[in-house]
Amino acid sequence: MKKDSKIFVAGHRGLVGSAIVRQLNSLGYCNIVTRGREELDLRNTKEVQEFFHQERPEYVFDSAAKVGGIRANDIYSAEFIYDNLTIQNNMIHSSFLFGVKKFLFLGSVCVYPKYAPFPVRESSLLDGLLEPTNEAYAVAKIAGIKMCQAYSKQYGMKTLTIMPANLYGPNDNFHPENGHVIPAMIEKFIKNPEKVTLWGNGCSMREFMFSDDMADACIFLMNSDLRKGEIVNAGTGDEVSIRELSRLIADAVGFEGTIEWDTSKPNGTPKRPLDFSKIRSMGWEPKNSLADGLAKTVRWYKENEMQINRR
């Protein structure tokens, strides 16, 4: 990408999209296009095609998606599969129709099989059964990955997919029930200073990556030679149990109350560390430790608490 290339960041108000915009701005990219949901409904094919016809973006970062934690995925599974399939179908096809030079699709670690061999390689895709609690979201994302590959194969469209570890950071969904684990915990610990109840037994292991590192990886890959629908993992290589994570977040927010575990609720996938040797061999490394990322996220939360979206 050139500094004046026209770049569309879809989902620019979300966790990843906002981080990509911040990173692009910091690097001197000066022609960034964004649209809020009130301006452009990415589920509306006519609106999306009209937008691409008028704006003609050269590069597209597709970070727009309906996302949530275990509870939200389980309860709203129909919305998760419909909205995500519709958004990505419109984004990919319109990018093809209007000559986008390169399209980057945001995947998810949950698309890999529940019991994939560790660390999980890109080749594990479709090599086993999915985690049931987020199956609808995962199936939609898998369809997006395969659509990118099909458009690259048939039409020569330049696409790639990045598969991140579990993400967190500013502009996340901090809803205590529908958000992902880190933002949901931050909200719970701050709002309930005496006692917090968490799902499962806390033994599941997770790998977390700060959103600014994810943005850095996305821009790095967009500027790489990859273009034929390749899948690339991005992670940190560091795992932590949900129980230990709860202690780290409690310390970060100053929580001194009691943590209880509801073992009648699911734990999710027991363990899913990513093999990110491909992007590491290309020269990319994350910059933020979990402790540093949590501190930055908590600080952002406290500074923006009144404006935070708790969907």
The set of catalytic residues is 137
Alpha carbon distance 99, 49 (integer Å): 12
- 8-state DSSP, 254: T
- Give the bridge partners for 163, in sequence order: 233
CA 28 to chain centre: 24
Per-residue exposure over 46-62, b if at least 16 CB sit within 10 Å of its own CB, e if not: ebbeebbeeeebbbbbb
Alpha carbon distance 147, 144 (integer Å): 5
* H or E element at residue 207: strand 205-210
Q: Is the peptide bond before 119 cis (omega within 30 degrees of 0)?
A: yes
* H or E element at residue 88: helix 77-97
Q: Which of 22, 75, 99 is nearest to 300 (CA)?
A: 22
